[in-house]
Amino acid sequence: MLKIGLIGCGRISKNHFEAITAQPDAQCIACCDIIAERARETAEKYNIPFWATDYEEMLNIADIDLISICTPSGLHPEHGILAANYGKHVLTEKPMAVRLRDADELIEACDKGGVKLFVVLQNRLNPSIQLVRRAFDEGRFGKIYMITSNVFWTRPQEYYDMASWRGTWEYDGGAFMNQASHYVDMVQWFGGPIEEVKSITATLARNIEAEDTGSAIIRFKNGAIGSINVTMLTYPKNLEGSITILGEKGTVRIGGIAMNKIEHWEFTDKQEYDAQIENANTNPSSVYGFGHTGYYRNVVDSLQSKAKPTSDGLEGRKSLYLLEEIYKEKQTSNVLRLTFHQNKRKESNV
């Protein structure tokens, strides 16, 4: 029985507790949150025998094998490093950090501590995505020409006002880093290593530090072009979470609100599993989908040496690298625009 401790009993933790409960050989034996009432209520709801507001108090429980981290993104490395120092395996929600250097420190700490690091990228396990990945790995697309992802969701101001860390550069990032991180991961998972990135981002309507809207264009080292379009301003509700892959021998579009529905599937060759595409469609009640249960199954199997992890620290780092490049390009563009306007003002004063 894998014994798990979870830190951060907020919005996403529900998916983790339900996924853990679904595993016959895993159990959450402790939870932690800085809000005592929330930790206590969570423990009561999920029959967890121990709760705390002091993270190290939970880490001192010798029976805990794995720490699941559901705290704000900017705190993932700090909490993961501390768990690794206590000899616990680490599972962290996406993204694994908001800065690449912090992610590298987490990876190094886990390596040094001899523990495994898992990064939750559960959308890779969507039945629709798994079917596309099978076709991709079999080479059915041929040369990839273009990969496009759209994340047209809505997050009202009330969502950001619920917690002071949301929408901040220090702990969250914006629409790309938070809501679209799974889609950034998906684009790089199919596109491969990055050659260059161009991006435009803006904060058009929400009162936050980071962006609520943006577009990025990517050139992959294999020559393919990628694009990611993101906004949290869709009226009046979440509209689309999609990825489209265009290749010389195949075209596929996975749509729905969370890459959960195969909307187009066409290849030059025919395979027996092409008839299964309707069975791969799901209807999730939220944009989180159903992937957490399968993800925890893989984690348990990995720790029992029965399987390889679907997304470890190095896999999680790849999408964070692309995210940092998107923001780096934005920062460079801002500097260039600022310099241009400053020069124009100087010229007008001559």
Q: Which residue has the higher pLDDT, 343 or 74?
A: 74
- So what's the pLDDT on residue 290? 63
256 alpha-carbon distance from chain centroid:
18
How far, in Å, CA of 89 to CA of 109, rounded? 11
Q: What is the pTM of this model?
A: 0.91
Nearest to 81 by CA among 113, 51, 52: 113
| pLDDT tens-digit readout, 127-168 | 999 999 999 999 999 999 999 999 999 999 999 999 999 999
| Chain region(s) in the chain for CATH 3.30.360.10 | 123-266+321-325
Strand order of the β-sheet with 117-119 is 50-52, 26-32, 2-7, 66-69, 89-92, 117-119
Name the DSSP class of 306: S
Class of 123-266+321-325 in CATH? alpha beta
Beta carbons within 10 angstroms of residue 92's beta carbon: 27
Say whether pLDDT at 346 is over 70.
Answer: no
| pLDDT tens-digit readout, 53-80 | 999 999 999 999 999 999 999 999 999 9
Q: Helix axis angle, 36-45 relative to 13-21, nearest 10°?
A: 30
- So what's the pLDDT on residue 341? 38
| pLDDT tens-digit readout, 13-59 | 999 999 999 999 999 999 999 999 999 999 999 999 999 999 999 99
Q: Helix axis angle, 181-191 relative to 313-349, nearest 10°?
A: 110
- So what's the pLDDT on residue 342? 44
- So what's the pLDDT on residue 282? 82
| pLDDT tens-digit readout, 299-322 | 999 999 999 999 999 999 999 999
The whole-number average pLDDT for the span 284-297 is 76
> What is the torsion angle, in degrees rounded to the nearest 10, for the CA atoms of residue 8, residue 12, residue 14 and residue 17?
-60
CATH superfamily of 2-119: NAD(P)-binding Rossmann-like Domain (3.40.50.720)
| Chain region(s) in the chain for CATH 3.40.50.720 | 2-119
